[in-house]
Amino acid sequence: MSSVGEPQRIIIVEPLFEPVPQELPEITVEPIEVPEEEPVGV
Amino acid sequence: MLEHLLEQAETIVMPIIGHRVWVVDSTNDLHSHFWNVRWPVRKMMTSTCRIGFGACQLTAADGNRRNEVQHHCGIYAFKTEDLLHAYLRDMDETSHCFPANMYTDSHDLVLGTVYLWGKVVECRDGYRAECAYPQGIYQSVWSAVKTTRLEKIAKLYGISCAWQEFVEPGYSF
Query: Model confidence over B56-75: pLDDT tens digits?
Result: 555 444 444 433 445 678 89
Closest Cα in chain A, distance from residue B144 (Å): 24
How crowded is residue B136: how many other Cβ atoms within 10 Å of its Cβ? 16
Tell me if B125 and A4 make a contact (CB, 8 A cut-off): yes
CA distance A7 to A5: 7
Coil, strand or helix: which one is B94? helix
One-letter amino acid of B126? G
- Predicted pLDDT of residue B29: 94
Query: What are the boundaries of each domain within chain B?
Result: 2-162
Query: Which among A4, A19, A22 has the least Cβ separation from residue B126?
Result: A4
More confidently predicted of B63 and B48:
B48
> What predicted TM-score, i.e. pTM, was given to this entire model?
0.78
- List beta partners, residue B115: B17, B133
- Please, what is the Cα angle at B99 between B95 and B102, to 5 degrees? 140
How far apart (Å, rounded) are the C-alpha atoms in residues B115 and B132? 5
Question: Mind listing the pLDDT tens digit for each residue in B25-43?
Answer: 999 999 988 788 899 999 9
High-pLDDT (> 90) share of chain B, %: 46
